[in-house]
Every structure is written in structure tokens, then in C-alpha cells.
Amino acid sequence: MHEVSLIENVIALVEHERTKSAFARVSMIRLRLGALGHAEPDALRFCFAAVTAGTIAEGSGLEIEIVPGEGWCPDCGNTVALAQRFDACPVCQGNQVKMTAGDDLRVVEMEVA
């Protein structure tokens, strides 16, 4: 389950921010997760409490916003919604769609005290 290492990296980011902003604890972490990424939201939630135990984020909440997949089709020049990686363009059926959104994981906000 690589979601454990993803949450560990999120906590490392939080700890790094603490060195710059001097806060005592984190009460909420908000992530933006691409729908076409390789992380499962339920698995991230499942391992969050275990990974944050003993850290500055222990007892904090986790909110996950899902970003839909999107791509740009060079054949017709349209930006299109993607339900899956490597989908054909729903406008022209071209198969060269370049994914532009939906494949990332970002910390977008933290509530700290």
C-alpha cells in the first residue's frame, strides 16, 4: 500500500512548514487528489491516523477533494473531460489526448494552532 508513504510525505511537508512558520499543532489537512492518480482516497483515510500518531498532526482531520481528469486533444484542439487514462477524445475520437489534470496529489490547506 503506497498510500502509507504518500501520507508520510505529507507529514514531512507539514513538519517542514512548521520550521518556517512556528506552529504547535495541525488540526486539519486538506488534500487535492486527482481522480486518475494512483492513490485511493479510502486507503489514504485508512492509514492517516496510524501514520500521524506521534507527529504534529496526531488527532488532526483529513479532507480530500477529488479533481476530475482532464486532457487536451491536439487533433481537435479541445480540452476534454477524461474518465480514464488514455481515453479517446470524446469530441473527435482522437487517441492522442494529453492529460492536463487529475493525476496529482497536493496539500492545499492546513489548519494550524
Provide the residue ranges of all domains of the chain, joining segments of one domain with +: 3-68+102-112
Rounded to the nearest integer, the mean pLDDT of the chain is 95
CB atoms within 10 A of CB 61: 12
Give 113: exposed, middle or buried? Use CB within 10 Å, 0-12, 13-18, 19+.
exposed
pLDDT at position 3 over 80? yes
pTM of the predicted model, to two decimals? Answer: 0.86
Q: What is the CATH topology of the domain spanning 3-68+102-112?
A: hypothetical protein PF0899 fold (3.30.2320)
Backbone angles phi, psi at 31, to 5 degrees: -110, 150
Percentage of residues in the chain having pLDDT higher than 90: 96
Residue 1: pLDDT band (50, 70, 90) is: low
Cα 36 to chain centroid, rounded = 10
Three-state secondary structure call for residue 94:
coil
